[in-house]
Amino acid sequence: MNRFIIIIAILIFSININAQEVKKNTNPNAAVLTLEKKKYDYGTIYQNSDGEISIAYTNTGKEPLIFARVKSSCGCTTPRWSRQPLMPGQSDTLKIIYDTKRLGSFSKSITISSNASVPRMIIRINGEVIPEASVIIPENNIDNEFSPKSK
């Protein structure tokens, strides 16, 4: 009886592993998505600053490249791309906008699903958002000549 349960468990486990494999497009003429970067590090950025980046991509295949879906890992990251097919040899840019209202470190992913030879590609972004720098202008400046209030 124990042997039967173990065999069933192994069978179910192996079926789940095979179901998660991403199948590669075997068409030799398929579109090929070539990304300028697969990882982007924002570094340290200020809260409420511009979180928009652009990543160039090229269709290095022989058929038009069509993005079926571009999805971010959460609502704080918004991808924008052309909905038009990208002809062989042409390039375009994928805009990624990270919402810099949230403080702290972040690590997000953008998944591109397309008709390319590798149908699913992932771009990873990361960085840290710190509080905005506050500028304090003293009212009583010793050197009034350079004070913004003296003008």
Q: Which amino acid is at 9?
A: A
pLDDT recorded at residue 144? 57
pLDDT recorded at residue 151? 46
Q: Residue 4: in which H helix or E strand, if any? A: helix 2-19
Q: Which of 131, 116, 129 is nearest to 25 (CA)?
A: 116
**Residue 126 covered by a domain:** yes
**Residue 71 covered by a domain:** yes
Quote the Cα angle for 106-133-138, to 5°. Answer: 170
**Residue 2 covered by a domain:** no
pLDDT recorded at residue 143? 58
pLDDT recorded at residue 19? 44
**Residue 81 covered by a domain:** yes
pLDDT recorded at residue 21? 46
Number of domains making up the chain: 1
How many Cβ atoms are within 10 Å of 23's Cβ, its own excluded? 7
pLDDT recorded at residue 37? 95
> How far is the C-alpha of 7 from the C-alpha of 136, rounded, in Å?
71
**What CATH number does residue 69 fall under?**
2.60.40.10
Q: Strand 91-98 to strand 52-59: parallel, antiparallel, or no bridges (unpaired)? A: antiparallel
**Residue 109 covered by a domain:** yes
* pLDDT, tens digit, 9 for 90 and up, residues 32-43: 999 999 999 999
**Residue 144 covered by a domain:** no
**Residue 102 covered by a domain:** yes
Structural domain of 74: 25-133
Please state whether the predicted TM-score (pTM) of the whole model is above 0.95.
no
**Residue 105 covered by a domain:** yes
Beta strands in the chain (DSSP E): 33-35, 39-46, 52-59, 67-72, 77-80, 91-98, 104-114, 120-130
Ranges in the chain, pLDDT < 70: 1-25, 135-151
Q: How far is CA 60 from CA 21, 32, 33, 70, 117, in A?
A: 24, 5, 7, 19, 10
pLDDT recorded at residue 18? 46
